[in-house]
Structure 1
Amino acid sequence: MKKSFKLFLFTLLFAYQFSAGQNQKKIDHQTLTWIRYYNVLPLTEKWALHSEFDNRSFVNPIHENLFVIRIQGRYRTSKIIELGGGFAYFNVNTQNPDADPDYSIPEYRTQQDITFINDIAKITFHNRFQLEERFIQKADKNGLLDEFSFAYRFRYRLQSTFTLWEKEQNSLKGTISDEILFNYGKDNKRNTFDQNRIYAALRYHFTPNLGLELGYLKNFQRRASGVDFYDRDIIRFTVYHRINRKF
């Protein structure tokens, strides 16, 4: 627990110091909603298939930001270690709600992660280390180009989940997390630091296999220029659905 707590404090401190040092930069403040459906399909006692559909939109003005489809296989090697690997497709309409281009930019992404899980008292801690390979189609003001940029992205997330209330099959759970992301690649030399995400949410389970989550995400992200930033307030709504299977 001490190690997890120290890592959590470190990421919070890093994010604060970094953002504080950018006061002279141009920062665009945006408000968004993320609406997501997350499905878990157990294949065996240790293997499961996770899929999600995520639509992200700006609030003022109302405008599509992007759409995500993600699928991954997950393998529980032991009580405390889980491995994952998968693929995601992003369809990015615009990063500026006042701009409405005639095209959307596709991104194809593969990912791999290792997650360490620790139950301490009544709190479950997840330490996730994730690597992504990102293939983003290039574009200019006239449209898409026949070439792609490539970059690696490393993500570290510390998340805690805890039960606030439980009765029979119903429960109310809380989640707090902090995630920091870094880019690496020839097209990302000016934004090695990508973003920091702080998240807090409540999830109500109607049954152990069906839950609704409402959360708030604070997202501070460096733009590709390496000079300007996005400061985003995000309301996230998620439907969690686990297909019940017995082995």
Structure 2
Amino acid sequence: MPRGRPALLALGAVLVCVPLLLLPAARRHGPARLPANATVRAGVMPGDPAVAYREAAAPRFPASSRPDVLLLHGQAFTSGTWQALGTLALLAAEGHRAVAIDLPGSVATQWGRAAFLQRVVRQLGLQRPVLVSPSMSGRFALPFLLAHGEQLAGFVPIAPVGTREYSAVQYQQVQTPTLILYGERDTGLGQQALQSLQHLPKHRVVVLPGAGHACYMDKPEDFHQALLGFLGQLK
């Protein structure tokens, strides 16, 4: 073998491995596996506007044993984000019915967005779900929380927008258990949202180390651990 061949082979191995190391953890590990008897399906809920959604569930668990989970999405993402990240599969494996929806851009008012989510919950048959709301989806989640918080088993805001549009008194009237979650490097919207959301009486805070605004993408394993821990404490 020529003298330079081993060095070239070693360099080639490094060039192959480095891009893999630079990929986000979710892409390196791939989506979580579904349990054998779980089902995943995509559908469209009719109405104006129509709602595209993805759903995962593990039917071996009693229907009432674990809370349903309704996942919204941020500006640059869709319901497919939660499938690609493995969140839907993981929740199904833990016995939750998990539904991720695509948010419409045509609902202009706070009242309209709250009514939209109420329609989603009713038509999809969700039973007092836990509402997961990152970033832009706060425009939908916050008015629903303040108007219909009793319909939720829990609330997981992830640096949502729109928190300053409501007063401390309004937040203090909400009795929904809440996990306030954001990334350590999200010094803008994450900490801004915390200033308002900390007025919710039944809240806890988790900051994901080294993560940015889309902290669930930067640190998916830490995010999933925090989410499952919160769900496990709900009654």
User: Is the TM value for this pair above 0.5?
Assistant: no
Q: Which has the higher helix share?
A: 2
1 or 2 for the larger relative contact order (CA 8 Å, sep ≥6)? 1
Question: Larger Rg: 1 or 2?
Answer: 2
Q: TM-score, normalised on structure 1?
A: 0.26
